[in-house]
Amino acid sequence: MNILLAGGAGYIGSHTAVELLKAGHGVVIVDNYGNSSPEVIHRLEKLTGKNIPAYCADVRDEKAVSEILATHPIDCVIHFAGLKAVGESVRKPLEYYDNNINTTLTLLKCMKKAGVRNIVFSSSATVYGEENPIPYVETMKKGSCSNPYGWTKSMMEQILEDAAVADPELSVVLLRYFNPIGAHESGLIGEDPLGGPNNLMPYVAQVAVGRRDHLTIFGNDYPTPDGTCRRDYIHVVDLAVGHVKAVEFAASRKGTEVFNLGTGNPYSVLDIVAAFERNSGVSIRYEFGPRRAGDLPEFWANADKARRVLGWEASRDLDAMCRDTWNWQRNNPEGYRAPRG
């Protein structure tokens, strides 16, 4: 199959491109490089030995997306495009609603015009909100989100579900991610947040490589074993493999299906720091700060449905996540801004 990756030069999109190509599928990437780099495309081609059609365009641009779909015979779209920083979404809610909702509307319009009937959506565990008990299961009702980023994910899911009800030929797969970390084992591609990290692992890695002085841990008085928040961390390559399974599943049925992609094993912030130190040999300087608004003490996935229906299960452990992150960061201390030869 030929897959259009909307936002495909980003962290998860780039790793998914590799796994799709390994599985024998073709990929086309469209990205405005707002939180990524054109260097990613060169790295992907070097890594896979494939020529990858890539377009610099905003996914809200209906004309540009229509032209791409008219140029390439696309069987499925994976929707990664969107703004994704929780804190920034609180400061810039209108920008988040405009960008994230309108990328979804534009893709659906252009897909319908081009006769593309399969879409896989990059959603998030944030849609479970604050009310649901853990572990999260797909049958739970979505909860109240604590920030505009979370609400955009919840709204985009609703838009896609409604579109599938209205169009019986449309196949929608909603993938609810937990906490992707790690990098490709080659060290050629990894997480490179522009403007500073919003998540834990890139912060830890940047402290380790000397780009940041220390890590601030938000809160050490949570009702968890060591007082710090616990999350379900998943290796980004395992997550990418989940997308390959979802694309193949989407082609075989219609309607909407939801899958959690996680390990089901929560780790605390201090667990992550200790594992990173163990796998890098570098000591991570950290200090405790006040709790961050909206942070839940802990949550993790029940991923039984993905195992049962998609035949997918996370296989890489926390040591591999930390080892691959460090391999990426030490070989690319400034990320994609200092291209390797």
Tell me if residue 145 falls in helix, strand or coil. coil
Dihedral, CA of residue 324, residue 325, residue 329 and residue 332, to nearest 10: 50
CB of 200 closer than 8 Å to CB of 207: no
In sequence order, the 6+-apart residues with CB closer than 8 A to the CB of 135 are 264, 299, 300, 301, 302
> Which has the closest alpha carbon to 245: 301, 312, 184?
312
Could you confirm whether 149 is annotated as catalytic? yes
- Stated length of the chain: 341
In sequence order, the 6+-apart residues with CB closer than 8 A to the CB of 256 are 160, 161, 164, 172, 173, 174
Identify the active-site residue in 136, 149, 222, 267.
149
In sequence order, the 6+-apart residues with CB closer than 8 A to the CB of 329 are 183, 190, 205, 206, 208, 209
**Would you name the residues annotated as active-site residues?**
149
